[in-house]
Amino acid sequence: MRKTNVVVLCLLGLALLLFGCGKEMPTEVNVLEKMDAATLAKNIVKYVPYRERGTLMPTTDPRADLDVECEVGEFEIFNRKDGQATHLGTIIGFENSCFNPSTGEVRVRGVNIGANGDSFSFEALCSFTSPTDFICDLTVTGGTGRFENASTPPGEPIVVVGTFDPAAFTSVYTSSGRISSVGSSK
């Protein structure tokens, strides 16, 4: 009985191959539109290493007010940063943060501005690992100039590690990760 089933299936398969299913099979399958190499390369996001180091300090500069809405019990903080970054060179930056003293978490919205004025925006979630040390996961959310449409790879934030000096109310930090290739959106 089992041999009979195998023979019948083989005969059905052979009949389908020989006679088809009553529909014509396409002779050409066009899955993708034809693209030239330049168009295809433009649509592929490339990520490059990104490093940054610098100092954060409190500021009253209005450019640090980036419309962050803090929850009840959180403290709003405005920072300026000075540092060095790959693809940007010497940077200044501004951060608008909400510090939650009960959890030790800090939500950040910021912008890094290069010497030529090109910039990228970011959001970060930071937490204190000791009374003075912190770590953040930073996600790039766009930018201007060469950083228009800049991003971090999905699920791969830039990692920021720093130390807060409570006496001076400043922080030093380093960042390491990847961002979309400079100018790749142009």
pLDDT tens for residues 120-152? 999 999 999 999 999 999 999 999 999 999 999
CA 166 to chain centre: 30
pLDDT of 39 reads: 61
Tell me the CA end-to-end span of the chain in Å, nearest whole number.
67
Is the pLDDT score of 34 beyond 60? no
Domain locations in the chain as residue ranges: 45-180
pLDDT of 44 reads: 75
Of 140, 66, 56, nearest to 96 by C-alpha is 66
Region 174-184 average pLDDT? 85
Q: Identify the residue with better confidence: 186 or 95.
A: 95
pLDDT tens for residues 85-115? 998 999 999 999 999 999 999 999 999 999 9
Mean pLDDT lowest for which of 40-49, 69-78, 120-129? 40-49
Of 10, 15, 54, nearest to 163 by C-alpha is 54
Please tell me the distance from the alpha carbon of residue 115 to that of residue 111, in angstroms, as a whole number.
13
Please tell me the distance from the alpha carbon of residue 138 to that of residue 141, in angstroms, as a whole number.
10
CATH, range 45-180: 2.40.350
Determine if the pTM surpasses 0.95. Answer: no
pLDDT of 88 reads: 92
Percent over 90 (pLDDT), the chain: 72
Is the pLDDT score of 28 beyond 80? no
Q: How far is CA 19 from CA 6, 8, 16, 34, in A?
A: 20, 16, 5, 33
Is the pLDDT score of 161 beyond 80? yes
Q: What is the DSSP letter of 4?
A: H
